[in-house]
Amino acid sequence: MSIVFSGKVWVFGDNLNTDDMYPGFALKMDPAEAAKHIFYEVRPGWTDQVSPGDIVLAGKNFGLGSSRPVAALFTVLGVAGLVAEEFNSLFFRNAVNTGLPAMTIPDDTRVFHEGDTGTFDLNAGTWRNDTTGASGSVPKLPDLILDIIESGGVLPRLVAQGYLPDELGDVLRSPTVAIRVAGSGA
């Protein structure tokens, strides 16, 4: 099993909340449309600049707020992983449960700058700034959590366990489908 994500890093600050990423009015939209509103006020136009495979890196208390499936919305844009100095635990769980790799690096906004390329290995618990050469390690996540991420989140696991129809096995790995199956929270 290997959960490594590597890509261009977008750097954000502290206390980014769920409404900054998934505003209430966007809950009325389809996921593809809603995803165009991520950081709509914090960094207007960002969703046109981000490319599949990019990484979102933030500071402290990342994702404070709602249960709404913000992490899943990032996968709609093709974001490959999240990194933060500190995650809100609900937001972190949402990332895990949607199969989006997430790593906590206590000083990440000091060692990464916007546009750097980073490589993050959840299994080894290591990271590297490929642009500057800086690297480090973090405590490894429990296997139970790594397994969920490796499965692509909880929904594909439910197919494997027979709770959801077999034919959904592959479709559920498509984020725009997965986000719709379980709906939203708030």
Partner 1 sequence: MGMTIIEKILARKVSCEAVSPGDTVVVDVDMTVLIDLQFATMWIQPNRIHDPDKLAVVMDHAVPAPTIKDAAGGRQARKFVADFGIERFYDVGRHGICHQVVAENGLARPGEVLACADSHTCAAGAYNTAARGLGPAEIYSIMCTGTTWFQVAPTVRYEFDGAKADAVSGKDIFLHIANEYGDAPNLNLEFGGPGLAGLPMHDRRTIATQCAEVSADFGTFEPDDVLESFLAKRGITGYEAAAPDSDAAYQEVRPVDLSKLEPYVARPGTVSRNGLPVSRLDGQKVDQAFIGSCANGQLEDLQIAAEVLRGKTVAPGVRLLVTPASQAVYREAMRLGYLQDLADAGAVITNSTCGACFGYHMGVLGPNEVCITSSTRNFTGRMGSTEAEIFMASPATVAASAITGYITDPRYVTA
Asked if 27 interacts with partner 1 (CB under 8 A), we say yes
Question: Nearest distance from residue 27's CB to partner 1, in Å?
Answer: 7
Q: According to CB under 8 A, which one of 19, 73, 74, 80 is a site residue for partner 1? A: 19
Asked if 151 interacts with partner 1 (CB under 8 A), we say no
Asked if 24 interacts with partner 1 (CB under 8 A), we say yes
Cβ pair 145, 93 in contact under 8 A: no
Report the distance separating Cα 68 and Cα 90, nearest Å. Answer: 10
Asked if 67 interacts with partner 1 (CB under 8 A), we say yes
What residue type is assigned to position 185 of the chain? G
Q: For partner 1, how many residues bind (rule: CB under 8 A)?
A: 54
Question: Nearest distance from residue 128's CB to partner 1, in Å?
Answer: 25
Q: For the segment 36-65, give every residue that binds partner 1 (CB under 8 A).
A: 41, 60-61, 64-65
Strands 135-137 and 126-129: antiparallel
Tokens of 58: 């933030």
| Residue 112 backbone zone (phi > 0: left; psi -120 to 50: alpha; other: beta) | beta
Question: Nearest distance from residue 137's CB to partner 1, in Å?
Answer: 17
Output the CA torsion 137→50→3→71 (10° steps).
100
Q: For the segment 156-185, give every residue that binds partner 1 (CB under 8 A).
A: 157-158, 161-165, 168, 177-185
Q: How far is Cα of residue 112 from the mean position of the Cα atoms in its chain?
A: 17
Report the distance separating Cα 93 and Cα 179, nearest Å. Answer: 15
Angle at which helices 89-97 and 143-150 cross, to 10°? 50
Asked if 9 interacts with partner 1 (CB under 8 A), we say no
Question: Nearest distance from residue 126's CB to partner 1, in Å?
Answer: 20
When computed from its CA atoms, the radius of gyration of the chain, rounded to whole angstroms, is: 16
Binding region for partner 1 (CB under 8 A): 15, 17-20, 23-25, 27-28, 41, 60-61, 64-69, 71-72, 86-90, 93-94, 97-98, 142, 144-145, 153-155, 157-158, 161-165, 168, 177-186
